[in-house]
Each structure stands twice: as C-alpha cells, then as structure tokens.
Structure 1
Amino acid sequence: MDINLAQLKIIEITEYENNLFLRDEIPHSDGVELYEKYKTQVDIEFPSYTTREHWKLKAKGWVGYIPITPEFHLKINPKVPIQNLFGMLEYAYKLKGFRFLEGLMDCESLKDFYNNLAQILAHKVLERCRKGLYRTYLPKTQQLSYVRGRLDVQQVIQKPWNVKLKCDYEKHTADVKENQILAWTLYIIGRSNLCSERVSPTIRKAYHALQGLITLQPCSAKDCIRRQYNRLNEDYRLLHILCRFFLENSSPIHEMGNYKTLPFLVDMAYLYELFVAELLQKNAPQGYFFKQQHSIKISQNRHFSIDILLCDAATGKTIAVLDTKYKVPEQAENIDIHQMISYANTTKCTQAYLIYPKNLTQPLDIQSDKIRVRSLTFCLDDNLDRAGQTFLKNLFLLISQNSHQ
C-alpha cells in the first residue's frame, strides 16, 4: 500500500521518559489503537484534567517503530547512544566481526539499521539462490498409480481393488526448514512497511526467488537457534542469524481494515541480557567460562532460567550467578535480591551480582547466611568494549576478595 509521505505524521518519544503532546497532536482514534494494541510497550494517558489536557506517553523499555495507521506512526528512541545500540545488536546476534557490517555503524537511526540489514539478508538469499538452494531428502507417504520407494503390502492385501498404491519414499527437496525460515523472514520484512524505496525492490526480488519452491510457513526466532549445519549449508548459519534478528524483534501482524502493520520493536531488557552474556562469553579470562540462560528445574512443572553463570573451567563448578537489570532504580528491589539468593542457593555458590546499566544511587552489598549479593555496573554510555573490560576487572576483583575472606 502506497502512503503519501506528505500526509504521514511521525511522533517521537524516548524510552523511560515522560513525553507530553497537545490534544490535537494525536487523533483520539489513534490513541485508542495505540493503547489497545501496545500498552505492554507504551504507557499512555489520555488528555484529562490531571494531564492538563495533554497526551502522556512513556515507553517501557522498548525502542523501535510502530506504524499505528497509514498516516500516523510512533518512533521510540533509545536512551543509550544510537551507535552503542548498534554495538549491542552486533554482539547479541553474533554479527560482530563480519566484514559486510563495516558501513552499518554509520546509520543514523534504528530504521536505517533495519533497512541496511534487510538489504544484506536479501542480497545473501539471492546469492544462495544463484548457487542453488540447500536440498535434503524428506520422508513422504503418498497414494500413487506406480510403485515408488517402499510399497505398503499390507494395504494391497487388505484393499486389492484400490488402483492407487500407498508408497513410502524419500523426496529430494528444497522445501525444508532452512529455506522456510528465509521465506518467512522476507515475508515479515516485506509486510513491515519499514523498508525504503531503495531496499523494498530487493526484498521483493529475494522473496519471489523462493516462491514456488518453498512453502510459506510461520517461523519463530527459536527456529533459527541451534540448527545443525554441514558443508552443504554452512553459509545458512549467517542467514539464520540475520533472520533471528528480524523475527525476534517483529510483533504479530495486526489487522486494521485493509492496512496491516508489523511494528519493529526491540525489547531493551532482553537485548541488554543477550549483549552482556555474549560479550562476557567472548572475553572470559583464562580458567573461567560463562553460561547463558541456564535452566534449573525446581519441580515437575516448574523451572527458572538464570541469565548468566560464572564457572570454573577446571571443575565446572559455579562460582557466581549474575542477572542483568535494564533499569536504574535508586536501590536494588527486594524481589530481585530474594531472586538472586534463590539462584545462589540452587547452584550452590556464595556470590550473586545484579548488573545495571548505570550506577545505583545506593549500591547493593548485603550478606544472607553465606551468600553475598552485590550490584555491579555494565555501562552503556561509554565505548562498549572498554565498558566490558572495566566490568570484568571489577567483577573479578570482587570474586578474588570474596575468595580470600
């Protein structure tokens, strides 16, 4: 659907900040649409006496772009410097080090980053199509007028009058999950209305190159993780990393008449967790390693997941539990402290750390029986690699002090 850019209105807010707008700046029906569909991501107060007849919007830790209607869009800017946001995305999605990303850090907005990454994915899909899509053998059962593969003799005996023969065989096909992920991701990108006129034709071309060969099947970000690769499909590893980025940060399609919106929204708390874990894994000092999203079963139907474990490389023993908190309260919340004590007890370690993007006004350092819970800062305002080294230095200084007590 073509949108008249002259009629398009975009309002901008910044995450975790109260943003005020005059009553006539946001159409009432659009405010209702925003409230009904995105109240999880954005707090919205309608114009009233208490708001002095202003709209009051506050993004709750999400950044990105929401096309509410064809004429009215909401842009949510991050509190962190935009280049650091890109750096976090690079680490979190294991993109750091790829040469094709060198120009990506020059983007001026998250939407530009989205466009450039979408174009890279489309070009790489087209490149793979030219070389030939990955194919494999899939088991198939079908009623045929001729024998193919293994004949179901039992059925022939039971129904000798049936001219169709039930055969089990293997079909060599490109219509496999590896390619279905690509097709679905390109479909999602195409429906987003976020691609520029420069990028959209390439997205359509890549999608059409898969049409007819690949069934359009809904895929999730989880489908892109822990896939098996071999010499025939090793280049799909990067393609699926890119697909994960788009699928993980795209919300479900909402119907609004003939207009379908597909917002691009990044959960900053989740991104912060992924980023910190990945950077620590890549920079673990000798003799240690970090585990990410360690799942622990506490009963038959209940389990919890710990953000990060610091472990001894020689013994595998857990030394400390770490949990990221993408918020900056004056002091650590009691529920978070109790959670860390529970994590430490479960993993049989004595040290627990709550990690914040900025220093707390009241730093945390408490002792509960043998367990010590402290706060640490992994700053997002500075150079990310330098911030990572500072964090590691402070962490292992505390680890060392604790072991000598």
Structure 2
Amino acid sequence: MYNILMKRTIVLSEYQPRLFPADALCEATAQRLWQHHARLVSVDFPSPKTAGQWQLTAQGWAGIVPVAPDLTLVLQPKVAIAHLLQMVDLVYDLQSFQLLRGTVPALTVPEFYEHLAILLAQRTVDRCRHGLHRPYQRHEAATAFVRGRLHIVELLRRPVPMTMPCIYHEQAVDVVDNRILRWTLERILQSDLGRDVAPSRMRSTVHDALRSLRSAVALQPFTAVDCRNRRYTRLNADYAQLHALCAFFLEASGPSHLPGDTESVPFVVNMAQLYEQFVAAWLQRSLPAIWQLQIQERHALSDQLHFAIDLVLYDRAAGKPVAVLDTKYKVPAAGPDTADVAQVVAYAAAKGAAEAYLIYPQPLHEPLDATVGGVHVRTVAFALDGDLHEAGVQLLKSLAVHISGVR
C-alpha cells in the first residue's frame, strides 16, 4: 500500500537507537533533520561514541516525516497500530465511524494514515452525494424589488429610494463546516503519501471528494482548534465526526500553509499526549458513579503562577478530591523518575488529596508504593500491549482497592 518512488524510507522504532554507516546520510540532510526535526528524532553525528556512524532515535512520536526530496522517515510507535486506532477512535470520538469493524489492514504507520484518510474522504464523498450542509445565511442588499423584508432604518435614510434595502436569508454551501473538510483533504494531498506518483486508493478517494468541494467551497486555512466545540443541529449532526477526524489530521500535520508550497507536510502524532488523552477519555466514560473526574484542572498558586493537573479524582457525594493521577508515556528503565514523583506529590498536596498515582503504559520493573509528606504515591499501569478495555478495568480495580476507604 505504501510506495514512494525514487525515495529512500528509513523506519525508526520508538526510543530504539539505530545506527547507519557514515555514508548513509549526507551532511546537509543530517543537518536539516537535526535543525528542523530534533523533537521528533534525536541525531547523533558520527563520532567515537557511535563508532563513526550516524545514530538516529525516534522520540515518542509516530508518523511520517519527509526530511529531503529523497528521504522519508517513518516513525513506528511501540504500540500496535490496531491499538493506536482504538486510542484515536476514543480520543477523537469517532465511534460512529466504526473504525475497527471488520478487518483493518493498518499494519504500519503509512497504512494507518491511509486508512483514516480514506475514511474521511469516503465519508465526505457520501455527504456530497446526499448534499452538503447548506445553512441559511443573512444578507443585506439593495434590490429592485422587496426580497425578504425591508431594512427600515436604511430605507428611511434614503431621500428618494431607487432600490429597496432588504434583509433576506438564502442557503449557502460555502460555509465553515464545508471549508474545514476541503482544507483538511488538501493537507492530506500535501503529505508524502498524497504526493506519491504511484496509484493509490487514498489519493483517488481524496481527489473524488475534492472534485465536489473545489467547485463550491473556498479554500481557507484552519487548525485543529477550529474543528472543536462547534455547534451542530439535526441537519449537520454527522459533521461532528467528520470534524473530529479533521482535527486529528490538522493536529498531526503541523503549521498550516497554503497548498502549492514545495515541501511535503509531515504527519506526526505525539504519543505522550495521545496516551494522556486516551487514559482521560477512557476513565471519563468508565468511572463508577461515586467518582468524578476533572481533566487538566487548573490550580492557581498566585495571580501569576498556576499549573494544570492531568487528572483529579473527586468523591462525587462529598465534592472532595481523593486522588491525583499523572500519566507518563515514557517508561523508565527501573523505577519512576524522582522529579515525576515530586511533581505528583506536590499536585496532591496542593489539592488536599491523600493519594497520588503515576500511570504508565506498562508495569515498571521497580514499582513505587510509598508515603511522601503525607501523600501515598503509587505507580500503576494502563497497559497498551493487550486488550485496552481490560487494561482500563484493571486500572480501575487498582484505584478502587486503595481509594475506597479514603472518604
């Protein structure tokens, strides 16, 4: 499915250093990678430390990074792609798309990208066939006859009106709801997969969708933020999931720029952020009724200083915080980092909670279960290497055992 002609593709697995001969990368390409993508990939130049070789290490991101015209990096996460789909499904509220029904052919990051891009494009094609959303738009114009209703204030300002100032409404397809769809699909075509010259079902489906949109909808840049918290009615309720998927692509494609630029658009998913959002979304949906969850709760230390706590668990009846939870995607070699422990303990103390948890995607080799300054801090897991729902259930059981007597 993934085929880029005349390009070299290097696959890097998350947090696993990979060595390459000194002649595998030219100096200019390595400099570009180091200068522009250091947050995605750590670059160690040839030296005695690396036995005269290049060392590249993916840094907690999954995606496709065009580095040079002849080189693309594929960043493969440690999470199975099927599980990555489940995480995206929950975080971006895509249940109605039924992402995982039937056989999902997404075995690699490029296939994962293509699967979601085809999904968005096909749903857009379906919407175009049934008719794009056409809300009524207000217009004010002077006409030779009354249209809608007279604009009385404007009419009285005119001594001898030759035309009638009117206020009227008419349906329009060139609206933000549809512009978001076009902008996102255009961005997909700017990706390495979108620019590939080899035939592909993804490009064909995206072009089908854009063929209907380009003739009726203006091109306007949007960000992921623009796709969220929009208002929907029964007439455009299906746009909620379309825009959620648009938010995912726009968040993963970096800063917006207009199509026509020469550089390909990267596609990268911040795995630490996705894991944090996934754990929060799963708990929000699955907590027992006795608990209430606050996500990214803002706690002010002063007028100028505040911090955001990942998750605060409240006793619903008493309205009191009982635990603070902090997600950590990167798994340490042994026990938790001292700074992470100090941070979650400080958060719990600030909220007056007796329990604090550091949540990792797998059990630690040296788990922590200790009391620090009156706060009981533990490490627990929301594992990503098996059934995700069962992993969440096990996390809830761990919380229930320790928090049940806190009230």
TM-score, normalised by the number of residues in structure 2:
0.87
Q: What is the one-letter code of the residue matched to 2:17?
A: N
Deviates more, 1:184-193 or 1:4-13: 4-13
Query: CA deviation digits over 1:160-205, x for unaligned, max 9?
Result: 7999998766553223222222111111111113246222021012
1:14 offset after TM fit, Å? 0.9
**Paired residue secondary structure (1:374):** strand
Q: Give the superposition deviation at 1:283.
A: 1.9
Q: 1:319 aligns to what?
A: 322
Q: In 2, are the aligned partners of 1:279 and 1:388 still within 8 Å (CA)?
A: yes
Residue of structure 1 equivalent to 2:352: 348
Counterpart pick for 2:239 among 236, 257, 268: 236
CA contact under 8 A between 2:22 and 2:46: conserved in structure 1? yes
For the residues of structure 2 that align with 1:368 and 1:143, how far apart are their CA atoms? Answer: 74
Classify the secondary structure of the residue corresponding to 1:261.
coil
1:205-254, Cα deviation, whole Å (9 max, x unpaired): 21221123222222122222222221111111111121122112112368
Question: Alpha-carbon deviation of 1:287?
Answer: 2.3
State the SS of the aligned residue for 1:228. Answer: coil
1:332 Cα shift?
2.4
The size of the alignment, in residue pairs, is 399
- Give the direction of change, closer, same or farther, for the CA distance of 1:150–1:189 in structure 2 (3 Å limit): farther
- Cα pair 2:75 2:109 within 8 Å, conserved: no
Q: Does residue 374 of the first structure (1) align with residue 378 of the second (2)?
A: yes
- Range 162-171 or range 380-389, more displaced: 162-171
- 1:271 Cα offset (Å): 0.9
Q: Is the 8 A contact 1:192 1:264 kept in 2?
A: yes
Q: How has the CA–CA distance of structure 1 residues 371 and 160 changed in structure 2, closer, same or farther, with 3 Å as cutoff?
A: farther
Distance 2:273 2:392 in 1: 18
Which residue does the alignment assign to 2:120? Answer: 121
Secondary structure of the corresponding residue to residue 74 of structure 1 = strand
Say if 1:320 and 1:353, in contact at 8 Å, map to a contact too. yes
The aligned counterpart of 1:383 is 387
What secondary structure, in the 3-state scheme, does the structure 2 residue paired with 1:50 have?
A: helix
Tell me the TM-score normalized by structure 1. Answer: 0.87
Letter in 1 for 2:339: I
Deviation at 1:61, TM superposition (A): 0.6
- Could you give the per-residue CA deviations for residues 291-345 of structure 1, whole angstroms, max 9, x where no partner exists? 3333344444554322222223334433212110011123323332332233224
CA–CA distance in structure 2, aligned partners of residues 241 and 234 of structure 1: 12
Cα contact 2:313–2:322 (8 A) shared by 1: yes
CA RMSD of superposed structures (Å): 3.1
Partner of 2:108: 109
Which deviates further from its counterpart, 4-13 or 391-400?
4-13
Structure 1: distance between partners of 2:136 and 2:302: 40
Tell me how far apart the structure 2 counterparts of residues 168 and 331 of structure 1 sit (CA, whole Å).
68
Q: How much has 1:263 moved relative to structure 2? A: 0.9
Three-state SS of the structure 1 residue aligned to 2:201 is coil
SS of 1:10's equivalent in the other structure is strand
Choose 89-98 or 29-38, whichever is displaced more: 89-98
| Distance 1:122-1:260 versus aligned 2 partners, 3 A rule | same
Q: Which amino acid aligns with 2:109?
A: L
TM-aligned CA deviation for residue 125 of structure 1: 0.9
Q: What aligned pairs does 1:193-232 form with structure 2 within 5 A after superposition? A: 193-195=192-194, 197-232=200-235
Return the alpha-carbon distance in structure 2 between the equivalents of residues 241 and 85 of structure 1.
Answer: 16
Q: Distance in 1 between matches of 2:156 and 2:350?
A: 59
Aligned match of 1:52: 51
Tell me which residue corresponds to 1:358: 362
Q: Which residue of 2 aligns with 1:21?
A: 20
- Aligned equivalents of 1:86 and 1:217: distance in 2? 28
Using the alignment, how far apart are the partners of 1:194 and 1:21 within structure 2?
A: 25
Q: Is 2:221–2:257's contact at 8 Å kept on the other side of the alignment?
A: no
- CA distance, structure 2, for counterparts of residue 142 and residue 190 of structure 1: 39
CA distance in 2, matches of 1:220, 1:110: 22
Q: 1:226 to 1:297 in 2, by over 3 A?
A: farther
Unaligned runs of 5+ in 2: none
2:116 aligned partner, one-letter code: L
Q: Distance in 2 between matches of 1:97 and 1:165?
A: 48
Q: How does 1:68-107 map to 2 (within 5 A)?
A: 68-96=67-95, 98-99=97-98, 101-103=100-102, 105-107=104-106
Q: Which amino acid aligns with 2:177?
A: E
How does 1:245-284 map onto structure 2 within 5 Å?
245-252=248-255, 259-284=262-287
Which residue identity lines up with residue 334 of structure 1 in the other structure?
T
